Structure 1
Amino acid sequence: MGPILFATLFAGLTLSSHLRRAYGNSSPPPPLRFTSNGTFQISVFEDLHFGENAWDTWGPQQDINTVKVMNQVLDAETQQLVVLNGDLITGENAYLENATVKIDQIVAPLLARGLTWASTYGNHDSQYNLSRHAILAREHRWPRHARTQQMVHGPDAGVSNYYLPVYPSTGNTDEPCLLLWFFDSRGGFHFQQRNASSGAHIGQPDWVDQSVVDWFEATNARLTAQYNRSSIPSLAFVHIPTNASQAAQMSPAGIDPRRQPGINDDAPNLAQQAQGWCEDGSNGPECVYGGQDAPFMRALASTKGLMAVFSGHDRGNTWCYKWDGVLLGMEVEGNGVNLCFGQHSGYGGYGNWGEGV
């Protein structure tokens, strides 16, 4: 098993109006809180890829094996939150009538232990027969446990863009000490949409949209001003990594196992946001990388207090890189934020690396 990623900070923030709107008349989950010894532990599951080839014996067996991994981790650790960081379902294999039923299998180990979770959605969670909105609705069947929300609306925003506050174990709950940011990097295909002439499925851009970047910057500024803080400690989760991760991998020093321990097998070219797109917004075989994730990278690099960004997607990478300065081929300057990959957790998807968190 890979290491469980956790933060040790001290906490607090009141429940946002977004949370009340997200859950309607249902009771939202109780506030996230640090433990009495000042720790807050997060188990991050990446690339679960449930639902592959349900019509064959090996597909359902993969899901059974993945549940075993989840059970082992959840029993071994004392997490206060579980993050499902994208590609929950292999949507290419989904049936339209019951595409989201795999969510029930994913969250069953969490519900059995009374745990709470928060999701981002990945490129395989948006397919012709699988909708991000449907996954969100399915998660909200358990309103006392699911914290996934949609705080940015619009046709191009994606779905899983939101933040969560964490409260102290006791004392003042009116001022934030930790924020958890979740971003939808989109990708995959638009739900039930085909090209009118060719009949082909219509691809969805695979980067964090500008509307989400604007929301992130404005919301973070509002929170720091509201609480008279120069910065608020925070962590971020997004399924597809930014180009900064690839630039780190391609830099002259590269990923050194002595300084950035972990697997680096998706090399030399990991799959970053805006991969396969041209600068003009078209996508085709001649397009390599369009640079549309630059606004998101600038927002991350300029956010004081942001300690780390956790991604999945590239299942053969598990390293962390301290992004400090300007990387090869880039103009955006890092501020020391750690760019981290989580261990892939599911038996589905490509590769034969060990499953973990």
Structure 2
Amino acid sequence: MFSTALVILTFVASIDAKPLAKTYVNSTGSSGPLTFKSDGTFQISIFEDLHFGENAWDQWGPQQDVNSVKVINEILEAESPGLVVLNGDLITGENGFLENSTVYIDQIVSPLVNRGLTWASTYGNHDYDYNISGSTILAREKRWSNSRTTQMVFDEEAGTSNYYLPVYDSNCSDENCTPELILWFFDSRGGFRYQRKDGSGNRVGQPDWVDFSVVNWFLQTNNELVEKYSKAIPSLAFVHIPTYASYVLQKEGINPHAEPGINDDYPLAPQAQGWCADGRNDGTCEYGGQDIPFMQAISAVPGLMAVFSGHDHGNTWCYKWDRLLPNMTVSPRNDVNLCFSQHSGYGGYGNWERGARQVLATKSKLARFEVDTWIRLESGNVVGSVSLNSTYGKDLYPATNNSKTYCPTCDYGS
């Protein structure tokens, strides 16, 4: 269907403000390797679409950031993650100014720093604009020893937040051990290019899919890990913009009991939406297929259990991609669950109740390539608790209540 599908086949066989005073790092902090607890568990909290810095020039905007910090604090009071993932659209970049576009990072991470928690980020389409970029956000993050966000792919078109993190047994004291779990982070880019305008003075758009240089790095690095450890290690992946496979699965139909979650963003917005196969983005095409190499890779790498995305604030379901889908050329070689997290920030569109997806890995279940996941809401309620196991998609669960957060000072249409 698209020429990019053929390419992948050759690779299956890269204003300053003072920091907060406290920079605590706990036993799983960036000063040492990520490790499971002594009880054999490792939990991840995923905060999605925080959108700090929206409408910074009026009273409404800063209040949303205060509300978002409250969400983070409420979730972390109820959960005890070994790692926090900030999965894209940390900042509403189009509202940022060059001199202070990244200072919102300090506000975002303050609840984590004060708890001694470590975190890792991916960057989303709103993190790339004329006055902000993944590179500038990463530089700000690196002021904190708690941050594990890094850059492992340096191709000009790769984006910034492409890397992996191993998680070791609790008895491991260095990185010579065999990892129990691998966490992959991908940059789906999008938005606009930093400090660039065209001849008419307009911002220059940036592609919104995982670049092929990153796919190549992912496959090669995974092959090296398999060779080094003589086995496929269970893994999870995080990328802000979902793939076209999620779009087609949604079209096939979401069962509220088999795939519990909100399904209000219909149709969802996948990678490469609005692009043509020849690279044009002039409004004449619906989808260009440039994410086919990435889809091919995530469905071919053994041990990859789930990919977590955001971007579509009104979707919170997980769906097992286990078959060739209509109008697609990618046939998955391994089952992989494609999941949405919960809109966590008061910035960004929508009035769905804020929250954060939790992922619990246990060594016993990882032996079967299984993890458990649920969403903790700002209210304290838990919804969408499921086990991503061999029978997911057949097992039945309670449907997720579509609860809303009503705030008299919030402009939900922004």
Give the TM-score, by structure 2 length.
0.77
RMSD (Å) for aligned C-alpha atoms = 1.2
Structure 2 counterpart of 1:184, which letter?
D
CA distance in 2, matches of 1:38, 1:248: 33
* CA displacement at 1:28 relative to structure 2: 4.9
Q: Which runs of 4+ in 1 moved over 3 A?
A: none
Give the distance between the partners of 1:79 and 1:223, measured in 2 at CA: 26
Q: Which aligned pairs between 1:223-238 and structure 2 lie closer than 5 A?
A: 223-229=225-231, 231-238=232-239
Aligned length: 326
Q: Check if 1:128 corresponds to 2:130.
A: yes
Please tell me whether the aligned partners of residues 35 and 172 of structure 2 are also in contact (alpha carbons under 8 angstroms). no
Q: CA deviation at 1:155?
A: 1.1
For 2:31 and 2:134, the matched residues in 1 are separated by: 21
The 2-side partners of 1:98 and 1:58 are apart by 18
Is 2:337 aligned against 1:338?
yes
Match of 1:262 in 2: 261
Partners of 2:274 and 2:150 in 1: CA distance: 28
Shift of 1:336: 1.4
Gaps of 5+ in 1: 1-17, 19-26
**After superposition, where does 1:201-350 map in structure 2 within 5 Å?**
201-229=203-231, 231-251=232-252, 254-267=253-266, 269-334=267-332, 335-350=334-349
Asked whether the equivalents of residues 250 and 328 of structure 1 are also in contact (C-alpha less than 8 Å), the reply is: no
Letter aligned with residue 155 of structure 1: E
Q: What secondary structure does 2:64 align onto?
A: helix
Distance in structure 2 (CA, Å) of the matches to 1:146 and 1:136: 9
* Alignment-mate amino acid for residue 133 of structure 1: S
Kindly indicate whether the alpha-carbon contact (under 8 Å) linking 1:29 and 1:146 is maintained by their aligned counterparts in 2.
no
Aligned to 2:70: 68
Task: Specify the code of the residue in structure 2 equivalent to 1:126.
Answer: Y
One-letter identity of the residue aligned with 2:151: Q
Q: C-alpha distance in 1, partners of 2:300/2:102? A: 37
Q: Tell me the CA shift for residue 236 of structure 1.
A: 0.1
Structure 1 window deviating more from structure 2 (322-331 vs 177-186): it is 322-331
Partners of 1:258 and 1:155 lie apart in 2 by 43
Task: Say which is worse superposed, 179-188 or 168-177, in terms of deviation.
Answer: 168-177
Question: What is the aligned partner in structure 2 of residue 7 from structure 1?
Answer: none
Q: CA deviation at 1:331?
A: 1.5
1: CA distance between counterparts of 2:32 and 2:87?
Answer: 21
Give the AA of the match of 2:41: T
Instruction: Tell me if structure 2 keeps the 8 A contact 1:49–1:88.
Output: yes
Q: Which amino acid aligns with 2:309?
A: S
Counterpart-to-counterpart distance in 2, 1:240 and 1:171 = 34
CA distance in 1 between counterparts of 2:80 and 2:201 reads 49
Secondary structure, counterpart of 2:188 in structure 1: coil
- Measure, in 2, the Cα distance between the counterparts of 1:29 and 1:298: 35
1:171 to partner: Cα distance: 4.9
Contact 2:64 2:346 in 1 (8 A): yes
Equivalence for 2:350: 351
Distance 1:132 1:261 in 2: 33
- Partner residue in 2 for 1:51: 53
8 Å Cα contact 2:30-2:118 kept in structure 1: no
Contact 1:248 1:328 in 2 (8 A): no
